[in-house]
A and B are shown apart, each in its own frame.
Chain A
Amino acid sequence: MNSKNNHKIIGNPEQRVDAIGKVTGTAKFAEDYNVLHQLYGKVLRSKYPHAKILSVDTSKAEQLDGVEAVLTANDIPGKKVFGIVVQNQTFLAIDKVRYLGDGVALVAAKTKEIAEQAIALIDVQYEPLPVIADPEESIKTDAVKIHGDDNTFVHHKVRKGDIEKGFAEADFILEKKFKTQFIEHSYIEPEAVLAELAEHGGVKITGSVQNLFSSRRSVAAALNLDLNKVQIIQSTLGGSFGGKDEVMTSMCCRAALLCLKTGKPVKMVNTREESMLESYKRHPYVLFYKWGVKNDGSITAMEIKCIADGGAYASMSPFVTWRSVVQATGPYHCENVKTDIYAVYTNNNYTGAMRGFGSPQVNFAIESMMDELAEKVGKNPIEIRLQNGYERGDVTATGQKLDHNVSYKEVLKKAAEAINFEEKWKQYRASPKTPFKKGIGLASSYRGVSLGAEGTDAVGTIVSVQTDGSVIVSSGITDMGQGAQTQMSQITAEVLGISMERIQFLNTNTSRVPDSGPTVASRGTIMSGSAAKKAAEIVKSTLLDVASEMTGVALQNLDIKNNYLVDVSNDQRLASFSELAAECFNNGKPMYGLGWHKSPHTSWDEEHGQGDAYYTFVYGTNIAEIEVDTETGKVNVVDFVSAHDVGKAINRNTVLGQIYGGVAMGLGYGMLEEFEFENGIPKQLNFDEYLIATAMDVPRIKAIIVENEDAAGPFGAKSIGEPATELAAPAIVNAIYNATGKRIYEIPANLERVLLGHKLTRTGERGSVQKEKEETVNFDSCKIRSTEK
């Protein structure tokens, strides 16, 4: 193992540092935090997707025994709105509600039951407003406005070459419209926090928060507190996938507000229904792709327009759509590009960060287009991609020269070979129509790593060696289950020459580690890992200085290996790591290192959409092999290949976990999941109706880890979290085409779309659940919300 680099720990499938706690139950999730005399907070949410609030009468609720506070937006002492770019999201509604999940009032009471009763006693008078449910309606100038005087709040562009000229050079035009859906993050742990008064003023909030520093900023501003008076401590997170940002900011703020008003600890926990009702989703996109193409398969022009449904608030839309605009052409050559991406408000749930962050949508369109192009010019999916795909030194649509190891084609070829793609593809497409047809399809991508030109990109990680030689590591980057703690621990252990057991990782606490930005954009390993490496190197250098003084051996001959200080000239052990740590302490030397890592330069010109968007990229390919029951539309995924260049796998098992989970999620995106609304009203609020892939639905997955070490990352590591999930959907849709000759332009490719090629009118009703109270059972009454003519 690791013969090339002689690493001791990097690359090993080390056991996750959080595994034992999670399997034995000692890990503390947010709901596990309880203190004496805590109150329970509950939220009254809106009754309409869009309405003016005429009045809020809390008097009855206040009189209820056991109620300690009933609050509205008026009770927020500081800034009543928040937002990462556009500050327009309310903690509690002011004058207006914009989606059904909007909070209107808060209650803190002695028990959950009392809190719920009190919520029911709050009397809110509304004046309903027209509901904007469709982004294509919202963008029209005469549409009802949701905020201010324009529903369009983002417009990103990329301009390269001259598309008129490009289309003129083309032999033919390929023009298609695609649609994607709302997706629920489906983290297993719904939102929860405990807010307590801090000992010396301010508040301490413990909870399932993904991006502690941005949450803290908004909470502090709302409460009129300095940042050092708001401490947010991350509990062990039961998943997040990008989902525990704004919704947690809101919950933290509400709980803290109730806590400060009552002077008592306040616990808030969402039920699954509350979570689905209030939390943000992945953006649905409408995508218009128009390509000018030559008969040889080269692309002369790309005109791309996408409209993203931003829902009720701006949230992360400006950033999510920015990644889309950068990556909208895929890793394919084209000299003439015009891309416009818009985000618009609607009265649906707001949309924000979710694993993939603007790439799953465009990848679905790009990779479908690529296969159509191949079909039109008589090539196979591999040939067309090898012809058009990027190589080192190529220049992207945003004018960025790719000067790292561009492994796009290497990854594509490795994936194809692993499943004998080309032969199967030919065979399946030629096979006769029987009820059960096999198909194979692929999708590939390039993806910018970390935040890129989105914003400041810097991270701090702290390594602190104790006097007994044990080590504490902490960071501003959080672990949500993806394995960040293990990665940083491995990097620290590798640098310090010690074993993993010596390391204890601390959950993030905003008051004890530097603001490191959000844990998003697959930046965990590359950024916090780089910082961990630097921190460990700082400490190691002090330790070796002390060691040299202690032993008289020249510094260049000293190293730490396998928990011992060694003289590398004769491989002699000079002292144990514990002895060395004690000596260092006795000499009054610091064994504490703050590693700070700032990303390399990136740039962006908003007007022309040109610049070095990301400092490095990763490359991936997914291949799905399926069987379609052409009489029922049932698609069975029988085999799957997922190949990714991760730079360097710090922990092989973690990478595999990310790949398997990513495929499962991507498969749900492609075939099953759809958070549906009917005029702003969600049709499903739990997992009985919102279906995600179960263990039984996930196929055999062959993961191929390609390792082209990148100078930008620690030990060459880049990322895998999001790349792992952004390709399964188009691979499946392309496989369906290979099997049936029918292309699906709107995901999920569920039974009906596969069978009938279009979506049918359906309602949120369930024929099987009729209220028992109903006396006469009239079957037609099941169609309460039917839109059927």
Chain B
Amino acid sequence: MLNSFSYYKPKSEIEIIETLKSFGDDAKILAGGTDLLVYMKQQIAGPKVLVDIKGVPDFSKIDVDSGGNLIIGAAVTCNDVVENQYIRNHFPVLATAAKTIGSYQIRNRATVVGNICNASPAADMAGAFLVLDAVVIIATEKGNREIPIKHFFVGVKKTSLQQNEFVKAIKVPADYKDAEASYLKASRIKGHDLGTCNAAMSRSKNGKIKIAIGSCNITPVLLPDFDSNNIDLANILTTAMNSIKPIDDLRGSKEYRKHLVQVFIKRLLNGKGHSH
């Protein structure tokens, strides 16, 4: 059962910060609510105040800035990303990953930024953003700050967000426009299910391979860059095995996850990355 709470829907970034400041730890940001409401119902979270960020018009936008970087606002839903033609043409891996989240109905509400902020080790957007070297744009009392997404995840459900901060957008650098990138996810059913394991890969124009692995450690994991002109599969697999620490849980065993990661990496490198 849900505990009672008050609900705020500020119209600007400043107002959000002010609301967060006045309620401190009692407040939580609400985006699509597809994670948060589940936790509230299960009594894992019990915020007294919900601060809805969907009231700020700019947050619903998918934009390209003057530098050619892709900017995805905090209220942009997974379906917005799946259906956005610019993203499909130039950053297709984001659409691929977003489409694996939950079901159509869930994707109508779930935001991609919420997916990142929830910081589940299984978050489907995490891998795609990690291999695209995305940057998280954080609103703070003292203006905006930016951090690379690889420094954003610090633990299970833990991000490097500080008190009275929130994410206003996520930025994908122009460098990765049209770069080769792919995503693979293993889940038990084709309908809504978190991944037993997932992996993403990109090959940048300057010859770097980035590989990210999800559901295999306390955070999504980004492996160190590899050289795409000189692929040493054995080394990549060893590095991957050394960087993950999967557990046995309802979705799969440790042993199975390790196996899947290796299969996925091989498939991604062979250009056989497709979901399901």
Contacts and interface: CB of A to CB of B under 8 A. Distances in A.
Same complex for A and B? Answer yes
Given A113-B1, A767-B121, A779-B218, A760 B191 contact: no
Interface in A275-312: none
B255 A767 contact: no
Contacts of B196: 751
B157 interface: yes
A779 B253 contact: no
A763 B188 contact: no
A751 B247 contact: no
B260 interface: yes
Contacts of A765: 247-250
B173 to A, nearest CB: 28
A762 B186 contact: no
B250 A772 contact: no
Contacts of B192: 688, 694
Contacts of B194: 768
Contacts of B247: 763, 765, 767, 779, 782-783, 786
Interface string A759-789: 0111111111111100001010011001010
A696 B121 contact: no
A632 interface: yes
A116 to B, nearest CB: 7
Nearest to B120: A768
A536 B184 CA distance: 61
Contact of A763 (B121, B157, B249, B260): B249
Contact of A751 (B122, B158, B245, B252): B252
A155 interface: no
B188 A750 contact: yes
Given A765-B250, A772-B45, A756 B188 contact: no
Interface in B44-63: 44-45
Interface in B32-87: 38-39, 44-45
Interface string B246-274: 11111111111001100100000000000
Chain B's interface: helix, strand, loop or mixed, by majority? loop
B217 interface: yes
A694 to B, nearest CB: 3
A782 B215 CA distance: 13
A756 B189 contact: no
A681 B225 CA distance: 44
B103 interface: yes
Contact of A694 (B103, B122, B215): B103
Interface in B158-177: 158
A770 B253 contact: no
B244 to A, nearest CB: 11
Contacts, number: 117
Contacts of B190: 694, 696-697
Contacts of A116: 1
A752 B156 contact: no
Contact of A766 (B218, B251, B253): B251
Nearest to B218: A779
A772 B217 CA distance: 17
A219 B121 CA distance: 49
B186 A694 contact: no
A47 interface: no
Interface string B146-157: 000000000111
A767 B122 contact: yes
A693 B121 contact: no
A112 B1 contact: yes
B253 A760 contact: yes
Q: Which of A691, A766, A767 has the most chain B CB atoms inside 10 A of its CB?
A: A767
A528 to B, nearest CB: 35
A772 B193 CA distance: 22
B142 interface: no
B256 A755 contact: yes
A696 B276 CA distance: 12
B157 to A, nearest CB: 6
A767 B245 CA distance: 11
Nearest to B119: A768
A526 B63 CA distance: 64
Given A672-B189, A691-B189, A766 B248 contact: no
A684 interface: yes
Interface residues of B, number: 41
A267 B191 CA distance: 34
Given A767-B156, A770-B157, A634 B215 contact: no
B271 to A, nearest CB: 14
A752 B252 contact: yes
A689 interface: yes
Interface in A652-689: 672, 683-684, 688-689
A772 B248 contact: no
Contacts of B186: 632, 634, 751
Interface string A303-336: 0000000000000000000000000000000000
A54 interface: no
A517 B120 CA distance: 51
A777 B120 CA distance: 13
A1 interface: no
Given A634-B186, A693-B189, A770-B157, A762 B44 contact: no
B158 A761 contact: no
Given A632-B260, A632-B263, A777-B156, A760 B249 contact: no
A695 interface: yes
Contacts of A632: 186, 260, 263
Contacts of A777: 155-156, 158, 218
Q: Which of B156, B196, B218, B255 has the most chain A CB atoms inside 10 A of its CB?
A: B156
A183 B46 CA distance: 33
Contact of B253 (A113, A688, A762, A772): A762
Nearest to B272: A435
Contact of A696 (B157, B189, B259, B263): B189
A112 B45 CA distance: 20
A779 B248 contact: no
A631 interface: yes
Contacts of A695: 191
A683 B248 CA distance: 13
Given A684-B250, A771-B44, A779-B217, A672 B188 contact: yes
A743 B190 CA distance: 24
A782 B156 contact: yes
Interface in B217-262: 217-218, 245-256, 259-260
Nearest to A687: B192
Nearest to A766: B249
A693 B189 CA distance: 7
Contacts of B218: 767, 777, 779
Nearest to A668: B189
B189 A779 contact: no
A761 B246 CA distance: 13
Given A112-B1, A694-B189, A762 B252 contact: yes
A764 B251 CA distance: 9
Contact of A769 (B44, B103, B256): B44
Given A777-B218, A786-B248, A772 B157 contact: yes
A779 to B, nearest CB: 4
Nearest to B215: A767
Q: Which of B38, B155, B246, B249 has the most chain A CB atoms inside 10 A of its CB?
A: B249
A690 to B, nearest CB: 10
A684 B42 CA distance: 13
A684 to B, nearest CB: 7
Contacts of A756: 255-256, 259
Given A760-B253, A762-B248, A691 B260 contact: no
A762 B251 CA distance: 8
Interface in A618-650: 631-634, 636
Given A760-B253, A760-B254, 4 more contacts: A116-B1, A632-B186, A695-B191, A777-B158
9 contacts: A691-B193, A697-B189, A752-B256, A756-B255, A760-B255, A763-B247, A767-B156, A779-B245, A782-B249
Question: 5 closest pairs, A vs B, by CB?
Answer: A694-B191, A760-B253, A777-B155, A696-B190, A770-B156
